[in-house]
């Protein structure tokens, strides 16, 4: 890095720098971005509603305020997005950031893309910013859940049903 900076002080380097235009700035920005931390966001159902959570970023103060959040389909099109930068740009307190329900932007946030219905079997990605980058992905699945509940044989309704079965069996013979 020192050699590169020393080279920039020469006239030849200034000429090269001029030809490179903004590439040096882009490269420096990419290097700085690589130093940022990425928080993982997961999708799950809370009280029957699609929600997003992160165990890694639930601070309630600047600079960890949730300032942007987007869910995109596999083609990259936003299916829900909000921006809360103006809401928190001068705030010292905010949050908690999560859980966040699909389609319900935080109070005061600007909805950029209203929530669209999700399609079963489709892959979705999550990205956002809460002081550092937020990332996640999920596959939306609709499953029919069938359950059984085993009952105590001593319950009156069970005994009555059992007796009706025996009575019917005797009547059929």
Report yes or no on 122 lying in a domain: yes
- What is the count of structural domains for the chain? 2
Report yes or no on 30 lying in a domain: yes
CB atoms within 10 A of CB 80: 22
What range defines the domain where residue 68 resides? 37-139
| Confidence label for 112 from pLDDT (cuts 50, 70 and 90) | very high
Whether residues 7 and 52 fall in one domain: no
Residue of higher predicted confidence among 94 and 47: 47
pLDDT digits (tens, 9 = 90+) for 64-74: 888 899 999 99
Whether residues 60 and 28 fall in one domain: no
CATH number of the domain encompassing residue 86 = 2.60.40
Report yes or no on 4 lying in a domain: yes
Nearest Cα neighbor of 121 from 64, 83, 73, 79 is 73
Whether residues 75 and 119 fall in one domain: yes
Report yes or no on 68 lying in a domain: yes
Whether residues 127 and 108 fall in one domain: yes
Whether residues 134 and 94 fall in one domain: yes
How confident is the model at residue 108, as a pLDDT?
86
Report yes or no on 148 lying in a domain: no
Phi and psi angles of residue 82, each rounded to the nearest 5 degrees, phi first: -140, 160
How confident is the model at residue 171, as a pLDDT?
87
Q: Rounded distance, CA 124 to CA 77, Å?
A: 10
pLDDT digits (tens, 9 = 90+) for 156-169: 888 888 888 889 88
Q: How many residues does the chain have?
A: 173
What pTM value is reported for the model?
A: 0.64
Kindly list the distances between the CA atom of residue 6 and the CA atoms of 2, 3, 59, in Å, as whole numbers in the listed order.
6, 5, 42
How confident is the model at residue 153, as a pLDDT?
83
Whether residues 61 and 11 fall in one domain: no
Whether residues 29 and 43 fall in one domain: no
pLDDT digits (tens, 9 = 90+) for 140-149: 988 887 666 7
Residue of higher predicted confidence among 25 and 160: 160
């Amino acid at each position: 890095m020192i050699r590169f900076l020393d080279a920039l002080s020469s006239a030849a380097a200034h000429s090269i720098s001029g030809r490179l235009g903004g590439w040096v700035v882009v490269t420096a920005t990419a290097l700085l971005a690589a130093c940022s931390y990425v928080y993982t966001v997961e999708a799950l159902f809370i009280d029957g509603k699609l929600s997003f959570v992160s165990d890694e970023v639930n601070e309630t103060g600047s600079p960890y305020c949730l300032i942007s959040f987007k869910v995109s389909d596999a083609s990259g099109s936003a299916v829900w997005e909000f921006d809360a930068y103006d809401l928190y740009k001068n705030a010292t307190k905010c949050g908690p950031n999560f859980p966040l329900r699909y389609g319900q932007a935080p109070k005061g946030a600007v909805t950029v893309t209203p929530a669209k219905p999700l399609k079963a079997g489709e892959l979705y990605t999550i990205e956002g910013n809460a002081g550092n980058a937020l990332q996640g992905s999920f596959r939306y699945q609709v499953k029919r859940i069938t359950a059984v509940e085993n009952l105590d044989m001593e319950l009156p309704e069970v005994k009555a049903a059992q007796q009706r079965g025996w009575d019917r069996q005797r009547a059929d013979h």
